[in-house]
Structure 1
Amino acid sequence: MSLLGGSDLKEQQKINELELKINREKQKLDKKLTRQKILLGAFLVDALENDSVDGLREYTADNLLDFLSRQGDKDLMADFVKGVGGSVSPSENHNNVNE
Protein backbone atom coordinates (compact mmCIF):
# COMPACT_ATOMS: atom_id res chain seq x y z
CA MET A 1 0.00 0.00 0.00
CA SER A 2 1.27 3.43 -0.91
CA LEU A 3 2.07 5.97 1.75
CA LEU A 4 0.64 8.63 -0.53
CA GLY A 5 -3.10 8.97 -0.90
CA GLY A 6 -4.12 6.89 2.12
CA SER A 7 -6.20 9.68 3.57
CA ASP A 8 -7.68 10.42 0.13
CA LEU A 9 -9.32 6.99 0.16
CA LYS A 10 -10.87 7.66 3.56
CA GLU A 11 -12.09 11.07 2.44
CA GLN A 12 -13.59 9.60 -0.74
CA GLN A 13 -15.34 6.97 1.36
CA LYS A 14 -16.75 9.68 3.63
CA ILE A 15 -17.95 11.63 0.56
CA ASN A 16 -19.66 8.49 -0.76
CA GLU A 17 -21.38 7.92 2.59
CA LEU A 18 -22.59 11.53 2.67
CA GLU A 19 -23.91 11.25 -0.89
CA LEU A 20 -25.84 8.12 0.08
CA LYS A 21 -27.28 9.94 3.08
CA ILE A 22 -28.31 12.89 0.89
CA ASN A 23 -29.99 10.54 -1.59
CA ARG A 24 -31.92 8.80 1.21
CA GLU A 25 -33.11 12.15 2.53
CA LYS A 26 -34.17 13.22 -0.97
CA GLN A 27 -36.15 10.00 -1.34
CA LYS A 28 -37.86 10.61 2.01
CA LEU A 29 -38.77 14.14 0.93
CA ASP A 30 -40.09 12.93 -2.44
CA LYS A 31 -42.25 10.32 -0.71
CA LYS A 32 -43.55 12.95 1.71
CA LEU A 33 -44.45 15.32 -1.12
CA THR A 34 -46.13 12.53 -3.08
CA ARG A 35 -48.16 11.55 -0.02
CA GLN A 36 -49.23 15.17 0.49
CA LYS A 37 -50.40 15.36 -3.14
CA ILE A 38 -52.35 12.11 -2.80
CA LEU A 39 -54.06 13.30 0.38
CA LEU A 40 -54.89 16.68 -1.13
CA GLY A 41 -56.27 14.95 -4.23
CA ALA A 42 -58.42 12.65 -2.09
CA PHE A 43 -59.71 15.66 -0.16
CA LEU A 44 -60.63 17.49 -3.36
CA VAL A 45 -62.27 14.42 -4.92
CA ASP A 46 -64.37 14.05 -1.78
CA ALA A 47 -65.37 17.70 -1.99
CA LEU A 48 -66.27 17.27 -5.66
CA GLU A 49 -68.23 14.06 -5.13
CA ASN A 50 -70.23 15.58 -2.28
CA ASP A 51 -70.55 18.96 -4.01
CA SER A 52 -69.56 20.52 -0.69
CA VAL A 53 -67.82 23.62 -2.08
CA ASP A 54 -69.95 26.00 -4.12
CA GLY A 55 -68.58 26.37 -7.62
CA LEU A 56 -65.80 23.77 -7.27
CA ARG A 57 -67.45 21.27 -9.61
CA GLU A 58 -68.02 23.89 -12.28
CA TYR A 59 -64.52 25.30 -11.90
CA THR A 60 -63.00 21.83 -12.16
CA ALA A 61 -65.14 20.90 -15.15
CA ASP A 62 -64.25 24.14 -16.93
CA ASN A 63 -60.51 24.25 -16.20
CA LEU A 64 -59.01 20.84 -15.47
CA LEU A 65 -58.33 19.79 -19.06
CA ASP A 66 -56.78 23.18 -19.86
CA PHE A 67 -54.52 22.80 -16.81
CA LEU A 68 -53.18 19.47 -18.08
CA SER A 69 -50.50 19.66 -20.74
CA ARG A 70 -50.00 16.04 -21.80
CA GLN A 71 -52.59 14.41 -24.03
CA GLY A 72 -52.35 11.15 -22.09
CA ASP A 73 -53.28 13.01 -18.90
CA LYS A 74 -56.20 14.70 -20.65
CA ASP A 75 -57.41 11.33 -21.92
CA LEU A 76 -57.12 9.89 -18.42
CA MET A 77 -59.16 12.69 -16.86
CA ALA A 78 -61.82 13.07 -19.60
CA ASP A 79 -64.31 10.73 -17.92
CA PHE A 80 -63.74 12.47 -14.60
CA VAL A 81 -64.48 15.86 -16.19
CA LYS A 82 -67.66 14.44 -17.69
CA GLY A 83 -68.55 13.04 -14.27
CA VAL A 84 -68.41 16.47 -12.64
CA GLY A 85 -70.60 17.92 -15.36
CA GLY A 86 -68.07 19.13 -17.88
CA SER A 87 -67.90 18.48 -21.57
CA VAL A 88 -64.99 17.15 -23.55
CA SER A 89 -64.45 18.26 -27.11
CA PRO A 90 -63.48 15.60 -29.67
CA SER A 91 -60.02 17.16 -30.01
CA GLU A 92 -59.46 16.68 -26.28
CA ASN A 93 -60.86 13.17 -26.17
CA HIS A 94 -58.33 10.96 -27.97
CA ASN A 95 -58.98 7.85 -25.90
CA ASN A 96 -56.11 5.47 -26.49
CA VAL A 97 -57.33 2.26 -28.12
CA ASN A 98 -54.35 0.31 -26.72
CA GLU A 99 -55.30 0.89 -23.06
Structure 2
Amino acid sequence: MSLLGGNDLKEQQRINELEAKINREKQKLDKKLTRQKILLGAFFVDALENNSVQGLKEYTADNLLDFLSRQGDKDLMTDLVKGLGGTVETKSDNKNDLELNASLDEHL
Protein backbone atom coordinates (compact mmCIF):
# COMPACT_ATOMS: atom_id res chain seq x y z
CA MET A 1 0.00 0.00 0.00
CA SER A 2 1.30 3.42 -0.91
CA LEU A 3 1.84 6.11 1.66
CA LEU A 4 0.05 8.53 -0.62
CA GLY A 5 -3.64 8.12 -1.36
CA GLY A 6 -4.33 5.31 1.09
CA ASN A 7 -7.52 6.96 2.27
CA ASP A 8 -8.62 7.82 -1.28
CA LEU A 9 -9.82 4.28 -1.89
CA LYS A 10 -11.90 4.31 1.29
CA GLU A 11 -13.34 7.70 0.41
CA GLN A 12 -14.22 6.51 -3.10
CA GLN A 13 -15.92 3.41 -1.67
CA ARG A 14 -17.93 5.62 0.69
CA ILE A 15 -18.95 7.86 -2.22
CA ASN A 16 -20.03 4.80 -4.21
CA GLU A 17 -22.09 3.55 -1.27
CA LEU A 18 -23.79 6.93 -0.88
CA GLU A 19 -24.53 7.14 -4.61
CA ALA A 20 -26.07 3.66 -4.50
CA LYS A 21 -28.22 4.70 -1.54
CA ILE A 22 -29.34 7.84 -3.39
CA ASN A 23 -30.29 5.75 -6.43
CA ARG A 24 -32.32 3.34 -4.26
CA GLU A 25 -34.18 6.25 -2.68
CA LYS A 26 -34.86 7.77 -6.12
CA GLN A 27 -36.31 4.45 -7.29
CA LYS A 28 -38.56 4.31 -4.23
CA LEU A 29 -39.77 7.84 -4.91
CA ASP A 30 -40.40 7.06 -8.59
CA LYS A 31 -42.43 3.98 -7.63
CA LYS A 32 -44.42 6.03 -5.12
CA LEU A 33 -45.19 8.74 -7.69
CA THR A 34 -46.17 6.14 -10.30
CA ARG A 35 -48.51 4.46 -7.82
CA GLN A 36 -50.09 7.83 -6.97
CA LYS A 37 -50.71 8.51 -10.67
CA ILE A 38 -52.25 5.08 -11.17
CA LEU A 39 -54.56 5.51 -8.19
CA LEU A 40 -55.56 9.01 -9.29
CA GLY A 41 -56.25 7.71 -12.78
CA ALA A 42 -58.39 4.89 -11.39
CA PHE A 43 -60.32 7.42 -9.32
CA PHE A 44 -61.07 9.54 -12.39
CA VAL A 45 -61.96 6.52 -14.53
CA ASP A 46 -64.45 5.49 -11.86
CA ALA A 47 -65.88 9.02 -11.80
CA LEU A 48 -66.17 8.99 -15.60
CA GLU A 49 -67.75 5.53 -15.76
CA ASN A 50 -70.32 6.37 -13.08
CA ASN A 51 -70.88 9.92 -14.34
CA SER A 52 -70.53 11.03 -10.72
CA VAL A 53 -69.05 14.46 -11.45
CA GLN A 54 -71.25 16.74 -13.49
CA GLY A 55 -69.47 17.91 -16.63
CA LEU A 56 -66.41 15.68 -16.20
CA LYS A 57 -67.24 13.51 -19.21
CA GLU A 58 -67.73 16.53 -21.46
CA TYR A 59 -64.63 18.27 -20.16
CA THR A 60 -62.53 15.14 -20.67
CA ALA A 61 -63.93 14.49 -24.14
CA ASP A 62 -63.30 18.11 -25.16
CA ASN A 63 -59.81 18.55 -23.71
CA LEU A 64 -57.97 15.24 -23.30
CA LEU A 65 -56.54 15.00 -26.81
CA ASP A 66 -55.37 18.63 -26.71
CA PHE A 67 -53.63 17.92 -23.40
CA LEU A 68 -51.63 15.07 -24.92
CA SER A 69 -48.59 16.00 -26.99
CA ARG A 70 -47.43 12.67 -28.45
CA GLN A 71 -49.38 11.26 -31.38
CA GLY A 72 -49.09 7.72 -30.02
CA ASP A 73 -50.75 8.84 -26.78
CA LYS A 74 -53.50 10.59 -28.73
CA ASP A 75 -54.08 7.46 -30.81
CA LEU A 76 -54.27 5.41 -27.61
CA MET A 77 -56.93 7.67 -26.09
CA THR A 78 -59.09 8.15 -29.22
CA ASP A 79 -61.52 5.34 -28.36
CA LEU A 80 -61.93 6.68 -24.84
CA VAL A 81 -62.76 10.16 -26.13
CA LYS A 82 -65.26 8.71 -28.60
CA GLY A 83 -66.78 6.62 -25.80
CA LEU A 84 -67.28 9.78 -23.78
CA GLY A 85 -69.18 11.32 -26.67
CA GLY A 86 -66.35 13.44 -28.02
CA THR A 87 -65.38 13.90 -31.62
CA VAL A 88 -61.97 13.00 -32.93
CA GLU A 89 -60.30 14.58 -35.91
CA THR A 90 -58.67 11.88 -37.94
CA LYS A 91 -55.38 12.35 -39.75
CA SER A 92 -57.20 12.24 -43.10
CA ASP A 93 -59.58 14.98 -41.88
CA ASN A 94 -56.59 17.11 -40.94
CA LYS A 95 -54.98 16.43 -44.34
CA ASN A 96 -58.19 17.42 -46.12
CA ASP A 97 -58.37 20.63 -44.07
CA LEU A 98 -54.80 21.49 -45.03
CA GLU A 99 -55.53 20.81 -48.70
CA LEU A 100 -58.70 22.92 -48.51
CA ASN A 101 -56.83 25.80 -46.86
CA ALA A 102 -54.07 25.62 -49.48
CA SER A 103 -56.68 25.66 -52.25
CA LEU A 104 -58.42 28.67 -50.70
CA ASP A 105 -55.11 30.50 -50.35
CA GLU A 106 -54.41 30.00 -54.05
CA HIS A 107 -57.73 31.56 -54.99
CA LEU A 108 -57.32 34.55 -52.69
Higher mean Cα deviation, 64-73 or 79-88?
79-88
Q: Percent identity over the alignment?
A: 83
Q: How does 1:19-58 map to 2 (within 5 A)?
A: 19-58=19-58
Q: CA RMSD in A?
A: 1.4
Name the structure 2 match of 1:75.
Answer: 75
The structure-2 alpha-carbon separation of the partners of 1:57 and 1:92, relative to structure 1 and needing over 3 Å to count, comes to: farther
Which residue identity lines up with residue 85 of structure 1 in the other structure? G
Name the structure 1 match of 2:13.
Answer: 13
Runs of 4+ in 1 over 2 A off after TM superposition: none
Q: RCO greater where, 1 or 2, for CA within 8 Å and sep 6 or more? A: 1
Matched residue count:
93
Structure in which a larger fraction of residues adopt helix? 2
- Please list every run of 5 or more consecutive structure 2 residues that lacks an aligned counterpart in the other structure: 94-108
The structure-2 alpha-carbon separation of the partners of 1:92 and 1:40, relative to structure 1 and needing over 3 Å to count, comes to: farther
Higher mean Cα deviation, 1-10 or 65-74?
1-10
- Please list every run of 5 or more consecutive structure 1 residues that lacks an aligned counterpart in the other structure: 94-99
Normalised to the residue count of structure 1, the TM-score between the two structures is 0.90
Name the structure 2 match of 1:64.
Answer: 64
Mark the structure with the bigger radius of gyration: 2
Q: Work out whether 1:84 is the aligned partner of 2:84.
A: yes
